[in-house]
Amino acid sequence: MEFSNELLTLAAKAEAALAERFAEIDRIAFENTQKVMEAFREHRVDEAMFNPTSGYGYDDRGRDALDRIWADVMDAEAAFVRHQIVNGTQALTIGLFGLLRPNDILFSIAGKPYDTLDEVIGNAGEAGNGSLRDFGVEYRQADLHEDGSFDIEKITSVLKEEGERVKVVFIQRSKGYLNRKTLSVAMIGEIVPLVRKLAPNAYIVVDNCYGEFTETREPTAVGVDMIIGSLIKNPGGGMAETGGYIAGTARAVELASYRLTSVGCGLEVGASMGQNKPMFKGLFYAPHTTAQALKTACLAAYIFGEDGLGFPVEPKWNEPRYDIIQSVITGSREGLCAFCRGIQAGSPIDSFVTPEPWAMPGYSDEVIMAAGAFTQGSSIELSADGPLRPPYTAFFQGGLTYESGKIGILSAAKEMMKLV
C-alpha cells in the first residue's frame, strides 16, 4: 500500500514520541513471559500433552495440565480453558449461570455490560428464551463517575439495601462499547474490600476480555473470585482458533465447571480433539502478541489524536493503558464507516472486501466490523468495529505484529483524510 509523505512523517513523529511507552510495554511483556515459562516448567509440559483425546476425554493430561498452568499464570486457585467455548459471551454466560440462582441479584458496578450480555441478563430479547431474568435473577447497576471512578455511594446503598440477595458483583474491566476509561487492576483491587465488607457471600466477577497481559497482574491477584475471557483475544496469542477460559477461586471455578458440562462431571470430561497444542502455544505467545497490539493502539492514539488528525481518542497516546482497545470518536456515520474500510483494506485477509453495517445478532444497534483476520472474529488480530449510533465511535484493537498494525492504522488514516 502507498501512503503520502504527510502520513509517513506523522508516523515517524509518533514513533519518536512513543519510544518510552514502547519500552515500558516491552518490559511488561518480558515479565509476563517469564511467568508463563515458569508455569510451563513447573508443570513439566511435554509433547505428549499435545496428543488428542476423543469421546468423554477422561484423563486428558494436556487439558488438565493447561488448566493448572492457567491458574498459576492468572494467580488463581483454579482455572479451566476449553476450545468448546465459542466466544467470550458464552464464557461469561457459563460463569454467571454457574454462580447465580433464582431470587439472586446480579449487580454490575462498572456501568452497563457489553451489548452481547443484554439478552443473557434479560435486559433485551424475548421473555422465555432462557435469560437470567427468566430464571428469577434480578439485575441492578451502578454507573461509573465521569472521571471513571466507582460510585461508592451507589454501590454501598445497593449492597446494604439488598443484603445477601446480591450474589454476583460484576465488573467489566474494558470499556466495551462505552466511551469510558478501562479499569486498571489496581482500581479493581481498591473496590474489593468494600464489597467483601458489605456482601461477604457475594462473588466478585470480572469480565477480563481485552485486558489480559496488559499489566503484570490480573484481577484474581487482587482478590476477585472469577475472571473470564476469550482465547481469540489476548490470551490466545493469535494461535488459538477458538475457546475461552474461567479462572478464580476453587469453589467459583467448580460451580462454573458444572454449567460447562454437568453437575457431577465438571472438568473430568471434555475431549481436547487435538486443540491442546494451539492453546499451549497461544498462551506462550500471548504476552508478546498483546504487546504488539498495545503498540499498535498507542500509534493509533497519536495519529488520530490531537497531535495528529485531531479526533477525540481514549486513551491518549501518553496515558496509561489497561486493555488493547483504542477508541476514536469519528463524529459521523460516514467517518466510522471510512475508518473501518481503511482497517479492512490494511488487513492481511479479505483486504478487497468493503465492510457494511448490519444487524448483528446480540447487538441493539447496527454494527460495522472490519476484521481481515486469519481466525474469524479474532480481536487480537487487526480489527475495528462500532455501533452505528452517536458519537459514532470506532473501537480499534489488535495487530498480531506491530508492523502489520502500523500499516492498518495508516490505511485507516488515509480513508479518513478523504472525508476532510
Could you report the per-residue pLDDT of 239-255, keeping only the tens digit for each? 999 999 999 999 999 99
**Residue 79: pLDDT over 90:** yes
How would you list the strands of the sheet with 244-248, edge to edge? Answer: 78-82, 244-248, 226-230, 203-207, 166-172, 105-108, 138-141
**Residue 177: pLDDT over 90:** no
**Residue 359 — very low, low, confident or very high, per pLDDT cuts 50/70/90?**
confident
Cα–Cα nearest to 394, from 383, 404, 378: 383
Give the per-residue pLDDT at 41. Answer: 98
Mean pLDDT along residues 111-136: 95
Domains belonging to the chain, first-starting first, are 5-32+284-417 (3.90.1150.60), 53-273 (3.40.640.10)
**Residue 162: pLDDT over 90:** yes
Cα–Cα nearest to 327, from 283, 391, 266, 275: 391
**Residue 364: pLDDT over 90:** no
CA atoms within 13 A on the CB side of 410: 20
Phi, psi torsion values for 111, nearest 5 degrees: 85, -165
**Residue 313: pLDDT over 80:** yes
**Residue 361: pLDDT over 80:** no
Q: Which residues contact 193 (CB under 8 A, 6 or more apart)?
A: none
Lowest mean pLDDT among 203-217, 286-300, 355-369, 404-418: 355-369
CA atoms within 13 A on the CB side of 344: 18
Give the per-residue pLDDT at 385. Answer: 92
Q: Count of CB atoms within 10 A of residue 116's CB? A: 21
Mean pLDDT along residues 96-103: 98
**Residue 200: pLDDT over 90:** yes
DSSP state of 172: E
CA 156 – CA 127 distance, rounded (Å): 31
Percentages of the chain per state (helix, strand, coil), in multiples of 5: 45, 15, 45
What single-letter amino acid sits at 352? Answer: F
Residue 416 cell numbers, joined: 479518513
Mean pLDDT along residues 97-117: 96
Give the per-residue pLDDT at 420. Answer: 75
- 72-84 burial, b for 16+ CB within 10 Å, e for fewer? bbbebbbbbbbbe
Residue 6 cell numbers, joined: 504527510
**Residue 176: pLDDT over 80:** no
**Residue 1 — very low, low, confident or very high, per pLDDT cuts 50/70/90?**
confident
CA 169 – CA 205 distance, rounded (Å): 6
Percent of the chain with pLDDT over 70: 100
Give the per-residue pLDDT at 24. Answer: 98
CA 203 – CA 106 distance, rounded (Å): 10
**Residue 321 — very low, low, confident or very high, per pLDDT cuts 50/70/90?**
very high
Mean pLDDT along residues 330-343: 96
**Residue 7: pLDDT over 80:** yes
Give the per-residue pLDDT at 5. Answer: 96
Cα–Cα nearest to 82, from 217, 238, 225, 247: 247
Give the per-residue pLDDT at 167. Answer: 98
The answer to whether the beta carbons of residues 112 and 140 sit under 8 Å apart is no
Tell me whether strands 203-207 and 166-172 are parallel, antiparallel or unpaired. Answer: parallel
Percent of the chain with pLDDT over 90: 95
**Residue 215 — very low, low, confident or very high, per pLDDT cuts 50/70/90?**
very high
Lowest mean pLDDT among 280-284, 297-301, 334-338, 384-388: 384-388
Give the per-residue pLDDT at 367. Answer: 93
